[in-house]
A = this chain, B = another copy of it.
Amino acid sequence: MSPRASTRERILDASLELFNVQGERSVTTNHIAAHLGMSPGNLYYHFRNKQMIIAELFAAYEARVDGFLRRPQARALTVADKTLYLEALLAAMWHYRFLHRDLEHLLAADPRLAKRYRLFAQRSLASAQGIYQGFVEAGVLQMSPAQIETLAINAWIILTSWIHFLCTAAGAASASLSEDMLRRGIYQLLALEDGFVTAAARPQVQVLLDQFQVPLSFD
């Protein structure tokens, strides 16, 4: 890695950490530079403004989700795959939690990001439908194509709105979000399929439900 690439990475890492803990609105590029013991001029050399940093963090998030949100070819899905999908979704949501928290505001501020987000959402919805279809073919779920389409949309909304729900309805502060609170969001996602699990897969899915069930406390 060249020294220049390395500085770039350090800026992205520090920005992500500060955005996640303090909220993107409260963090300026000057804060980020100060946090890194770097001059603002050095930071501007790599990123002209905060929007560019956000766009690059979003691209990394998008690449990560695109990487795991796909149906494996040439083999049937199992409940073990479901565990992997859910853990991967949880890890991505936790790692990039500021994106979920501040999304409305971020998209309103940047029309190019809004367009990119829309394409990402539509791609993710198509992938989710393919994965649910895979679980139907594997005998884990029993659903019609119309139910799969509806489920994929509800799954997207629950996942992308969970942190917002915690912060608005449950009274959580951005800085006090814990990975456990996000785990409950994955439980809510899994619960969407609850009524469609086949009798054969029920015992294994119940283990998974228990694994993600975290009590929810309201402030």
A191 and B114 form a contact (CB under 8 A): no
- Residue A122 is within 8 A (CB to CB) of chain B in the complex: yes
A125 and B169 form a contact (CB under 8 A): yes
- A147–B191 Cα distance when bound, in Å, is 8
- A102–B157 Cα distance when bound, in Å, is 16
- A145–B187 Cα distance when bound, in Å, is 15
A216 touches which of B25, B105, B153 (Cβ 8 Å):
B153
A118 touches which of B122, B171, B213 (Cβ 8 Å):
B171
Range, interface on chain A: 35 or more
- Residue A45 is within 8 A (CB to CB) of chain B in the complex: no
User: In the complex, what residue of chain B is closest to A219 when comparing beta carbons?
Assistant: B118
Give the contacts of A73-114 with B (CB-CB under 8 A). 102-105, 107-108, 114
- A218–B164 Cα distance when bound, in Å, is 23
CB 8 Å contact bits of A204-219 with B (1 = contact, 0 = none): 0000000001001011
> What is the distance, in angstroms, from A121's C-beta to the closest C-beta of chain B?
4
- Residue A151 is within 8 A (CB to CB) of chain B in the complex: yes
CB within 8 Å of B: which residues of A?
25, 102-105, 107-108, 114, 117-118, 121-122, 125, 146-147, 150-151, 153-154, 156-158, 160-162, 164-165, 168-171, 187-188, 191-196, 213, 216, 218-219
